[in-house]
Structure 1
Amino acid sequence: MRRWVFAASLAAAAVPAYADWSGKGEAGLVIASGNTDTQTANAKVQVTNETDNWKNSLGGSALYASDQEGKTANRWETFGQLDWKFTTRNFLFGAARYEEDEFSGFEYQATASYGIGRRFFDSPNTKMVGTLGAGYKFFETRDSFDEVTGELIEEGDSDSEVVFRGTLDLEHQFTATTSLINKFIVESGADNTFAQNDLSLQVKMTDVLALALGYSVRHNTDPPADFQKTDTLTTINLVYEIK
């Protein structure tokens, strides 16, 4: 029950109280038929509202893929972060993240954290922001089965732990139309360390539309037995800038 309460709280926070929001939404779709029959879709959205002292960021992502044998990927995530700027470059933050990934070995992972952040670079061409903090993670693992015999290897279980959280976001604009964006997050606890890095090269086609080539790496140090530690994803998406 608590995972649904956690997710519902993030969804409720995602409803803007006022209209002065900006951000980006992107999506990609691949469908093949004939000798192969595959479907792949992914989508991301992030919106931000910023004032002199506060910054509120909300977003989410989803991934689905299937082939002739059935689903091969099914994941969705939602997140939010509220920053209070106590100097020009430094801020305190509170953040929450919730995800469900059918093929990660985890039924769900939900984290609430707080800490301190700093804007290392904030020029028109280069922006770099890092955070460091601590929080609490709730998670549930899936049952693991032997691929050959089908026997149960390990039963799923619910647990929670203290985690240390760090992020590093970099955005560099090479030209008026080309930019590189990299987002890194790590949540480290006694039972498992989760890390994700999203790299994207974006080329503007109009004032609000861009084409993005992305590469994402997700890693769990201690997934349930018979599940891989690392997942990668390469995408070509159409990006829409929300102004």
Structure 2
Amino acid sequence: MRFKNTRIAALGLAIAAPAFTAQAQLPEPVRAMIDAAIATGDEEKVRTVIDIARMTNPDDAGELDTILAAYETDLAAAQAEAAALEEAEIRNAGLFENWSGRGELGAFNSTGNASNTGITASLRLTREGINWRHKLSGRADYQRNNGVTTREQLLATYEPNIKLNDRLFVFALAQYERDRFQGFAGRYAVSGGLGYQIFDNDTLKLSAKAGPAYRVTEFVDGSSESSIAGLIGMDFDWNITDRLTLTHDTNAVAEAGGNATVIIDSSNTSINLITGLDAKISDNLSARLSYAYEYDSNPPAGAVKTDTLSRITVIYDF
């Protein structure tokens, strides 16, 4: 669980300050420097100052070790208290609380069933709980030329999942697609299964999941078909630097960011791949370049199997 730095700093200072009032042999300027570092709430700064004090005052190494040990004890207690408070806030949050989101707006260029340039927009909402996570997302690509709509692709998904442990989770998925130029007026899919978090750190996140699926397709000619399918997914995010992120997520959820959707049934296998590169402009604003590959092994008559889309967008995180 991530701790709020300001809360930890305040708690740590309140707890740690009394620990350093005992009689000591350290020169007063050195002690004042250590106290000032502790007051900042910056753990790295505290450790750096104590290391420097140890080099410049080698005879006082024992007292410095005692100060550091007391600081670490107080810091651990502050972190535990902050974690408990944050967990309580999450557990007591209302239905419309603890949501975060990402809005995206820009332009696209497509090839395949339609070759044109238009506008693209998407919205993603995520709610993190103690064990539950809910993800809602939607995307629309639209282009109109001389009064005639030449592209209208809609996609909406909802995915809840629950953690079984630090690595294993259960997921469910409901997805809706519409793309008349690919030959279907509506395509609905529901799925569920197991997922596994392979890597989960500040630099690299990688998870895989799989399960059965049921899909219904309504074609533009009025016919429809339904089928039992299998779904395979993988999410991949790599923070190359603090401001540059590469995403290529093999995921049952098609959302803003890199993703690939693979649904396999006896009559038609569909694949949706998106690779993206995000560059931060500010804390909340990013620019994004992405490339999408969409494939249907058995498209309706008159449609081709493969579509590609290149997008350039601006993203706002909230």
Band of TM-score, shorter chain: 0.7 to 0.9
* % identity of equivalent residues: 30
Determine the C-alpha separation between the residues in 2 that align with 1:188 and 1:46.
Answer: 26
Q: Which residue of the partner structure matches residue 271 of structure 2?
A: 195
Task: Provide the residue aligned with 1:5 in structure 2.
Answer: none
Distance apart, 1:141 and its partner CA: 1.8
| Correspondence 1:113 to 2:191 | yes
Aligned AA (2:265): G
Contact kept, 8 Å, 1:119 with 1:130, in 2: the verdict is yes
Amino acid at match of 2:289: L
Deviations 1:77-97 (A, max 9, x none): 110111111110110111110
Q: Does 1:214 align with 2:290?
A: yes
Deviation digits for residues 138-175 of structure 1 (CA, Å, limit 9, x no counterpart): 111223xxxxxxxxxxxx41111101011111110111
- Name the counterpart of 2:111: none
Cα distance, 1:99 vs structure 2: 0.9
SS of 2:182's partner is coil
Q: Which residue does the alignment assign to 1:42? A: 120
Structure 1 residue 29: Cα displacement: 4.1
Give me the whole-angstrom Cα distance separating, in 2, the residues matched to 1:114 and 1:56.
14
Q: Which residue of 2 aligns with 1:96?
A: 174
Structure 2 equivalent of residue 172 of structure 1: 238
What are the Cα deviations for residues 63-107 of structure 1, in whole angstroms up to 9, with x where unaligned? 012334832210111101111111101101111100111111112
Give 3-state SS (helix, strand or coil) of 1:18's partner: coil
Q: Secondary structure at the match of 1:103?
A: helix
Q: For the aligned residues, what is the CA RMSD?
A: 1.6
Q: Number of paired residues? A: 208
Q: For residues 93-172 of structure 1, what are the structure 2 equivalents within 5 Å?
A: 93-143=171-221, 156-172=222-238
How far apart in 1 are the matches of 2:239 and 2:192?
A: 30
What letter corresponds to residue 174 of structure 2 in structure 1?
A: A
TM-aligned CA distance change 1:76 to 1:82, over 3 Å: same
Structure 2: gaps spanning 5 or more residues:
1-93, 109-115, 249-258
Q: TM-score, normalised by structure 1?
A: 0.81
Asked if the contact 1:45/1:60 (under 8 Å) is kept, the reply is yes
The 2-side partners of 1:69 and 1:47 are apart by 33
Question: Secondary structure of the residue that 1:175 maps to in structure 2?
Answer: coil
As a proportion of its length, which structure holds more helix? 2
Per-residue deviation, residues 116-141 of structure 1 (Å, max 9, x unmatched): 00111101011112110112111112
* 8 A contact 2:163–2:170 mirrored in 1: yes
Per the alignment, residue 62 of structure 1 pairs with 140
1:238 lines up with 2:304 in the alignment: no
* Structure 2 letter corresponding to 1:173: N
The equivalent residue for 1:25 is 103
**In structure 1, C-alpha distance between the alignment counterparts of 2:237 and 2:285, rounded to whole Å:** 17
Question: TM-score if structure 2 supplies the norm length?
Answer: 0.63
In 2, distance between residues paired with 1:108 and 1:130?
Answer: 27
CA distance in 1, matches of 2:146, 2:290: 26
Determine the C-alpha separation between the residues in 1 that align with 2:270 and 2:287: 29
**Which residue pairs with 2:164 in the alignment?**
86
CA distance in 2, matches of 1:17, 1:63: 30
Structure-2 residue corresponding to 1:225: 301
- Structure 1 distance, partners of 2:107, 2:217, is 30
Amino acid at match of 1:193: T
Deviation at 1:61, TM superposition (A): 0.4
Q: Equivalent residue for 2:113?
A: none
Task: State the alpha-carbon separation in 2 of the partners of residues 170 and 45 from structure 1.
Answer: 20
Q: What is the distance in 1 between the residues matched to 2:186 and 2:288?
A: 28
Which gives a bigger RCO, structure 1 or 2 (Cα 8 Å, sep 6+)? 1
Matches of 1:167 and 1:72 in 2, distance apart? Answer: 31
Distance in 1 separating the partners of 2:159 and 2:308: 25
Q: Does the CA-based 8 Å contact 1:106-1:223 persist in structure 2?
A: no
Tell me, yes or no, if the aligned pair for 1:142 and 1:224 is still in contact at 8 Å.
no
Deviation of the 1:47 alpha carbon = 1.4
